[in-house]
Structure 1
Amino acid sequence: MATPRLLAFALAPLIGVLTGAGVVLAVIGGDGGATTEFAAGATLALPSVVLGMLVAVRRPDSVVGPLLMLVGATAVWVTVGDLYASAVTRRPDLPFSELYAALSQGDWMFLYVPAALLMLVFPDGRLPGRRWRWAIAGLLGVPALFMLITAFDPGPYRPPFESTPHLFRLPEPYLPVLRVVGLALLPVFLGLLVASAAAVVLRYRRTTGKAKRAQLKWFALGAACLPLTLLLCWASYLFLDGPDLVLAGLAATALAIPVATTIAVLRHDLYDIDRAISTAVTYGLVTAILLGFYTAASFLVGLGAGRSSPVAAAAGTAICAAALSPLRVRLQRWVDRRFYPDRQAVLTAIEELRDRTHAGQAQPEELETTLRTALRDPALRVGYRLPGASRLVDATGAPVDPGDALVAQVRLGGHDIGAIVRGNAGSRELLREAASAGALLIEVVRLRIEVSRALGEAEASRTRLLHAGYEERRRLERDLHDGAQQRLVSLGMAIRLAQRHLHDGTVHVDGLLDRWVAELAVAVTELRQIAHGLRPSSLDDGLGNALVMLAGKVPVPVTLDVAADDLPEDVAMTAYYVASEAMTNAVKHAGPATIGVRVTRAGDRVTVRVSDDGPGGAEIRPGAGLAGLADRVRAAGGALRLSSPAGGGTLIEAELPCAL
C-alpha cells in the first residue's frame, strides 16, 4: 500500500481521538462558548477530513489527500485547545496544563503549515523542483523553533494561563538574543507562506498541459474564498455592526477549499473552471467596489446629514444601484480578458461579425469561419435546422452529422434553429455561450437557406413544367404513332390487298367497305381520345380483349397468350403500345409468317414478349419506332430488350413495374 494512503489511514483515527478528547473536555469542564466553538470547528473540519480520505483512496501515491485531512485537523486542534484551556480554569488539576500553557503560546504558526504544504505539492504531490526542499524544511522547522522560543520566554502567558508557573526557563543573559530570534522568525515565516502561494503560480506558468492547468485553476478557485471572506467581514461590520457574515464566510471557505481541491484531483473536467473563475472574480470585484462606493457615499452624506441619518444609507444604496449594471459589464469584460480569454475572444468575434453584417461589410454565413478561428478548432461546424427536416445542414445545404462530438443546440424563440458542433475537445459551457451569442446570425442564415431553397424549388418546378410539356408532346407523338397511325396503316394495307383481288372476284366489296368504315370510325375515336389524353377505347374491356382486337387487324396470324389482364391503367396502356408497335414493325419490316404475343405477371413485374419468325437483324435506331417505344417503357420505369440475330427472328421484351 502506498505511503500517503497509509498516512491517511493513520490520521483518521488520530483525528477521531482528538475529537473524542474534545467531547470529554466539553463534558467535564468546558464553558458554553468554548463548547460551541468546538462543535463548529469539528463540523467545519469534516469536509476536509472526509474528502481528504477520498482523495487518498483514489490517488494513493499523492500526499494531497493526507495534507487535506491535516487542514481539517487543524480546525479541530484549535477548538480542542481552546476547550482544554477553558476546562483548566474549572479543573486546575487536569494533566499537562503547564506543558500546554508553555507550548500553546507560539503554536499558532502550525495552523498554516498544512495549507502551505498543500500549496507546495499540489496537484501531483511533488515539489515544483528540488530546490524547493528548503521550503518544506522551513515550514516544519520555523514553527517548531518559534514555539520553543515562546515557551522559554519569561513573560506572562496568555489568558487563561496568567497564573500558571513557567515550565521552561533560560538564563537572563540569553533572553535578548532569544527575543530577537523570535521576532526575526515572523517575517521568515511570512516569506515561506508567500513562497508557498508563489509555487502555485510558478507551477501554473510552467505547465502547458490542459489537465494540470485546470487542476490548478480549481485549486485557485477554492483559495479565492479567503479574500471573499474578508469582503464579508467588511460588509458584516458595515451593515450589521457585527461578525455574523464572517462566520458564514468561514463556513463557505471550509467547504469550498476541500471541495475544489477534491474536484481538481479527481474530476477537474467536471465543469468549465475558466467560467467559474471569471464569475467569481467578477462578482468579488463588483462587491468590493460597491462596498467602497457605499462606504464613501454614506460617510460623505453623513457629514452633513448626520452619521445615523437614513439619508446617508439611502444615498449609498442609490449610488450602488446606479453603478451595478454598467460596472458589472465592464468588469466582466476585463476579467474575461485576463482570466477567461477564450470566452472573451469568442464573444468579441461574434459581436464584431454581427456589427459588420449589420453594416453590410460581412455575410452571416461567415459565422462558422469566425468560430473556427476564435475557438482554434478548424473542424468546427455550424448546422442549421430547416422546417420539417430532421437533419442539420450547413450553409451550402450539405448534411452535418454531429456523431459523438460536443454539440451545443441553438434555440431562438423557443425553437431549435441549429447547432454548433465542435471538431475537437473543448468547454461545453463556452460552446453554449457561443451558441447563445450567435443565435441571431444563425437564424438569419437559416432564413436565407430557406429562401434560397424556395427559389431553387420554384426554378426546378418551372423546369419540370417545361420538361413535362415537352414529354407530353413526345407522348402524343408516340401515341399517334403507336395507336391511330398503326390502325390507319393496317387499314391501308388491307385496302391495298383488296385492290389486288378486285379483278378476280374473290373480294366482297360491300363487306370490305363496311369494315373499313368501321375501322375509320374507331381510328377517329382514338384520335379524339388521344387529343384528350385518354387511352385507346379498346382497353375498356381489358388488355386481353384489346390485344385480340389488335391482332385481328394484322394481316399475319398472331398467337396470343395473355396471363395478366387485371393491370393498372398506365401499365396496361404501355403494354398495349409495346405489342402494337412490335407487331406493326414485324409486319412492316420483317414479313413474318407468324407473330407471337405473350403477357405475363410475376409479383410486381409485368413482362410483354413479342416474337416473329422473320429474318431478324432489327436494331434500335434514334428516331425510329423502336427508339420511341424504348423511351415509353423507360418513362414507365421499365426496361426494353431487343434480341434479333440475323436469320433467327426477332424478340422484343419489355419489363414493366406493376404495384401489387
Structure 2
Amino acid sequence: MTARGSAVLSYLLLSATALLAVAGIVLAVSRQAAGYFAVEAAIGLVSSLLGWFVTRRRPGNPVGPLLALLGFCPMLMAVSDMAVGSLPPLVEAIRTGIWMLWYVPPALLLLYFPDGLLPGPRWRWVSRGLIAVPAVFVVGAVFDPAAWPSGPPEVPWPIGPVALGVALAMLPLLLGLLVASAVSMVVRYRRTTDPVGRARIKWLALGAGLLPGTLLLCWFSYLLRGDSDLVMVGLTVTGVGIPAAATVAMLRHDLYDVDRALSATITYGLITTGLLAVYTVVAFAGGRLLGSDSATTAAAATAVCAVLLAPLRRRIQAPVDRRLYPVRRAALAAVDRLRVDARDGRARPEQLAEVLRGALRDPALRVGYRLPGADELVGADGGPLGAVPAADTVPVRLRGEEIGALVRGTTGSRELMRELADAIAFPVEVVRLRIDLARALRDVESSRARLLQAAYAERRRLERDLHDGAQQRLVSLGLAFRLAQRRPAPGELDGLLDHAVAELGTAVAELRRIANGLRPSSLDDGLAAALRGLVDTVPVPVTVSVEVAGVPEDVAITAYYVVSEAVANAVKHAAAGHIDVRVHDGGARLRVEVADDGRGGAVQAPGSGLSGLADRVAAAGGTLRLVSPAGRGTRIAAELPCAS
C-alpha cells in the first residue's frame, strides 16, 4: 500500500465514522438510547482517530487504515441497530448478517501487524478468506426468512435453502480463520529476531489480553451483582484498549516495559480467575447450607479469598516471570545470589556490575557509586565513571539518599532498571562505603608521608633561619663581649656596647619571627583578634565574622592557618574583589569558611599550599572541602573537631 493510498483510506474511514456517529446520535436521542450509543461512538471514534494518527506517522503501513476500519465497522453496526425497523426490507435482511464485521478488522490486524506484511505467502488465503467469508455469509443470510420482517420475497426453490446452507457453512470457516489469524501472530513472533518487532507484537498481545479480562468481569458481575451490566465496561475498555495498544506499539514501543506489563496482566488475571473460582465454590456451598443471601456466606468467601491471595500470587508470579519476563527474574536472582556469595566470602560486592551485565546480557551496563560528600559518580575501582547520559541513568536510593546510579546500556527498560535499582541498594551502599574507606586509607598514608616531608622541610628551614639569622647575631654579640673584656678605651667600649645591644635586639626579632611561624603570637589575644589582625593588611576588602568561645589551642592554630592560606591565595591568584571569612563554633565542630568572588578554578594539586593545608586539617582530625567553579569564585570550608 502506498503512502498516499493509506492516507486517503484512513481519512475516508475516519470521515465515514464521524458521519455515522452524528447520524447515530440523532437516532439514539429519538429512541432514548443515547447512553448505549455514546459508548459505541466513543469506541469507534477513538479507534478511527488513532488509525488516522498512525497513518500520519507511519505512511504506507496498512496498520493505520486497519485501525480506522476497526472503528468504522462497530460504528456501522451500532447505527444499523439504532435504525432497525425504519430501513428498507433488503437492508434489514443484510443487517442481520453483517455482525461478522466485528471480527474481520481485528483478525486482519493480527495478520498484518506490525510491518504491514503477511508472515508468508501461504497466509494470503487467510487474508482473502476474511474478506470473502463475511461477504458470502451476508449474501446467504439474505435468504433466511427470519431476516425479512414482512416476509421474504419469492425465490426459486433450490436457491434459498442452498444459499442458507452455504451461509451456515461460513460459521466454522470464520472460526478457523480467526484461529489462523491468532496463530499468525505467534508464528511472526517466533520468526522475528528484531527486539523492536517482538516488543510491538507483545504490545498488541497485551491489548488482546483485555478480551479474557472482559469475560472475568462478566463472571464477577454475575457473581456479585446478579446482572451483566459490568460487561459493557469491559467491552468499552477492550474496544479502546486494543487500538491504543496497537498505536503505542507502532509509535512508542519503548514507552513502558511491555514484558513487565504483560507478566503483571497475566499474573493478576490468573489470580483473579482463581479467587473468583474459590469465591464461587465457597458461596455455592454456603448458599446450600445457609441460604443464598446469607451475610455469613459472603463474609466467609471473602475471608478465604483474602487468605489465599498472598500465597497464590507467589505461586503464580514465579512461573509467569520465568516464561514471560525471564530477564527480570534472571537479574533479581543474580543480585540475590551475589548477596549470599558476598556474605559467605565467595564473591566481592564490587562484582555487582559484572553480575548484572551477565544477567541482562548487556555488556554496556554500568553501576556508578556516589561517595559521601561527592558530586560525581565513580566506578567500583574508585575511578571516574565517565560520561553518563541522563536519559539512560536511574538513581539508586537508600533511605531517601542517592547513593549511586544504574546506567542502562543497550537492553533493559527504565521500569526494569528502576526495579533493579531498588534491589541493588544494599550492595551499592556496601561498595561505596568500601571505596570511601579505601580512599580515606590512601589519603591517610599519603597525608602521613606529606606531613613527614613537611616536618623535615620545616626543620631544615628552622635550621637555616637560625644559622643565618639569630645564630649569626649571637656570634657577633659574643665577639663584641670578647672585645669588651680587653678593656678598650672608654669611647670604644660605648660603641661595642651599643653594637651588642643592637645585635641582641636583632636576634630577639629574628627569634620572634621564627616563633611566630610556629605559633602566631597574635593568638595570645584570642582567635577573633588574631584573624582581624591578619586581614588588616590585606589590600582587598575582607568581611570577618567570628563566633567562637574557648577554642582549644591546637584548633585555633589550625583555623588561623586555614584563613591565612585561603586569604593569601585569594589575593595572589584569584584576583578577588571581596573576601568573606566566617568562623563559627558549632559545639562539637568548629567550621571555618573563606569565600571570594575571584576567577575560581582552584585545584588541590599535590605539593601545593592547598594540599599542605588539607594535610594540616586532616592531622587535626578535620575535613577540608574546596569548591571553585571556573569564573564563579572559590570557597574553602574546613570542619575541625572542637571539644570546647
| Bin of the TM-score, shorter chain as denominator length | 0.7 to 0.9
Residue 157 of structure 1: aligned partner: 146
Counterpart-to-counterpart distance in 1, 2:456 and 2:70: 89
Residue 550 of structure 1: aligned partner: none
Q: Secondary structure at the match of 1:410?
A: strand
Counterpart-to-counterpart distance in 1, 2:49 and 2:365: 42
Counterpart-to-counterpart distance in 2, 1:83 and 1:17: 14
Counterpart-to-counterpart distance in 1, 2:233 and 2:129: 33
Matches within 5 A, 1:433-452: 433-452=419-438
Residue 109 of structure 1: aligned partner: 100
Residue 557 of structure 1: aligned partner: none
Counterpart of 1:137 in structure 2: which amino acid?
R
Q: Structure 1 pair 16/472, CA: closer, same or farther in 2 (3 Å)?
A: closer
Which residue of 155, 165, 187 corresponds with 1:169? Answer: 155
Residue 315 of structure 2: aligned partner: 330
Residue 591 of structure 2: aligned partner: none
Whether 2:371 is the aligned partner of 1:412: answer: no
Q: Which segment drifts farther, 431-440 or 376-385?
A: 376-385
Q: Structure 1 pair 413/84, CA: closer, same or farther in 2 (3 Å)?
A: same
Residue 281 of structure 1: aligned partner: 266
Residue 563 of structure 2: aligned partner: none
Residue 349 of structure 1: aligned partner: 334
Pairwise CA distance, 1:320: 1.0
Counterpart-to-counterpart distance in 1, 2:510 and 2:5: 104
Counterpart-to-counterpart distance in 2, 1:389 and 1:16: 60
Whether 2:250 is the aligned partner of 1:265: answer: yes
Residue 538 of structure 1: aligned partner: none
Q: Structure 1 pair 190/338, CA: closer, same or farther in 2 (3 Å)?
A: same
Pairwise CA distance, 1:314: 1.6
Deviations 1:236-270 (A, max 9, x none): 10111111211111111111111111111122222
Residue 58 of structure 2: aligned partner: 59
Computed over aligned residues only, the root mean square deviation of the Cα atoms, in angstroms, reads 3.4
Counterpart of 2:300 in structure 1: which amino acid?
A
Pairwise CA distance, 1:375: 2.2
Counterpart-to-counterpart distance in 2, 1:451 and 1:330: 43
Residue 463 of structure 1: aligned partner: 449
* Structure 1: runs of 5+ lacking an equivalent: 89-93, 536-565, 569-602, 606-633, 638-660
Q: Secondary structure at the match of 1:423?
A: coil
The structure whose Rg is larger is 1
Counterpart-to-counterpart distance in 1, 2:207 and 2:451: 70
**TM-score scaled to structure 2, two decimals?**
0.74
Counterpart of 2:227 in structure 1: which amino acid?
G
Residue 561 of structure 1: aligned partner: none
Which residue of 466, 478, 481 corresponds with 2:464? Answer: 478
Residue 44 of structure 1: aligned partner: 43
Counterpart of 2:177 in structure 1: which amino acid?
L
Q: Secondary structure at the match of 2:142?
A: helix
Counterpart-to-counterpart distance in 2, 1:465 and 1:377: 46
Whether 2:17 is the aligned partner of 1:15: answer: yes
Whether 2:410 is the aligned partner of 1:424: answer: yes
Q: Structure 1 pair 374/223, CA: closer, same or farther in 2 (3 Å)?
A: same
Counterpart-to-counterpart distance in 1, 2:135 and 2:49: 28
Q: Secondary structure at the match of 1:379?
A: coil
Counterpart-to-counterpart distance in 2, 1:240 and 1:523: 108
* Structure 2: runs of 5+ lacking an equivalent: 519-535, 539-570, 574-606, 611-644
Deviations 1:542-591 (A, max 9, x none): xxxxxxxxxxxxxxxxxxxxxxxx999xxxxxxxxxxxxxxxxxxxxxxx
Q: Structure 1 pair 534/407, CA: closer, same or farther in 2 (3 Å)?
A: closer
Counterpart-to-counterpart distance in 1, 2:35 and 2:516: 101
Whether 2:125 is the aligned partner of 1:134: answer: yes
Pairwise CA distance, 1:12: 2.8
Counterpart of 2:224 in structure 1: which amino acid?
F
Q: Structure 1 pair 300/636, CA: closer, same or farther in 2 (3 Å)?
A: closer
Counterpart-to-counterpart distance in 2, 1:452 and 1:104: 81
Q: Structure 1 pair 379/224, CA: closer, same or farther in 2 (3 Å)?
A: same
Pairwise CA distance, 1:168: 6.2
Pairwise CA distance, 1:124: 1.9
Q: Structure 1 pair 441/26, CA: closer, same or farther in 2 (3 Å)?
A: closer
Counterpart-to-counterpart distance in 1, 2:270 and 2:81: 35
Matches within 5 A, 1:499-514: 510=493, 513-514=496-497
Residue 356 of structure 2: aligned partner: 371
Residue 32 of structure 2: aligned partner: 32
Residue 603 of structure 2: aligned partner: none
Counterpart of 2:306 in structure 1: which amino acid?
A
Q: Structure 1 pair 255/168, CA: closer, same or farther in 2 (3 Å)?
A: farther
Residue 618 of structure 1: aligned partner: none
Q: Secondary structure at the match of 2:429?
A: helix
Counterpart of 1:59 in structure 2: which amino acid?
R
Q: Which segment drifts farther, 355-364 or 293-302?
A: 355-364
Give the total of aligned pairs. 526
Residue 555 of structure 2: aligned partner: none
Counterpart-to-counterpart distance in 2, 1:63 and 1:232: 32
Q: Structure 1 pair 244/24, CA: closer, same or farther in 2 (3 Å)?
A: closer
Q: Secondary structure at the match of 1:248?
A: helix
Asked if the contact 1:102/1:167 (under 8 Å) is kept, the reply is: no
Q: Which segment drifts farther, 347-356 or 14-23?
A: 14-23
Q: Secondary structure at the match of 1:166?
A: coil
Q: Structure 1 pair 530/38, CA: closer, same or farther in 2 (3 Å)?
A: closer
Q: Structure 1 pair 208/318, CA: closer, same or farther in 2 (3 Å)?
A: same
Q: Secondary structure at the match of 1:403?
A: coil
Q: Secondary structure at the match of 1:483?
A: helix
Asked if the contact 1:135/1:192 (under 8 Å) is kept, the reply is: yes
Asked if the contact 1:157/1:164 (under 8 Å) is kept, the reply is: no
Counterpart-to-counterpart distance in 1, 2:609 and 2:180: 87
Matches within 5 A, 1:476-625: 476-487=462-473, 510=493, 513-514=496-497, 517-518=500-501, 521=504, 525=508, 529=512, 532=515, 604=572
Matches within 5 A, 1:202-351: 202-351=187-336
Pairwise CA distance, 1:509: 6.2
Residue 147 of structure 1: aligned partner: 138
Pairwise CA distance, 1:488: 6.1
Counterpart-to-counterpart distance in 2, 1:527 and 1:6: 99
Q: Structure 1 pair 423/77, CA: closer, same or farther in 2 (3 Å)?
A: closer
Counterpart-to-counterpart distance in 2, 1:422 and 1:482: 65
Q: Structure 1 pair 527/103, CA: closer, same or farther in 2 (3 Å)?
A: closer
Asked if the contact 2:388/2:407 (under 8 Å) is kept, the reply is: no
**TM-score scaled to structure 1, two decimals?**
0.72
Asked if the contact 1:364/1:444 (under 8 Å) is kept, the reply is: yes
Q: Secondary structure at the match of 2:367?
A: strand
Pairwise CA distance, 1:526: 6.7
Counterpart-to-counterpart distance in 2, 1:444 and 1:262: 44
Q: Structure 1 pair 221/244, CA: closer, same or farther in 2 (3 Å)?
A: same
Counterpart of 2:189 in structure 1: which amino acid?
Y
Q: Secondary structure at the match of 1:419?
A: strand
Residue 5 of structure 2: aligned partner: 3
Matches within 5 A, 1:92-103: 94=87, 96-97=88-89, 99-103=90-94
Asked if the contact 2:362/2:409 (under 8 Å) is kept, the reply is: yes
Pairwise CA distance, 1:83: 1.7
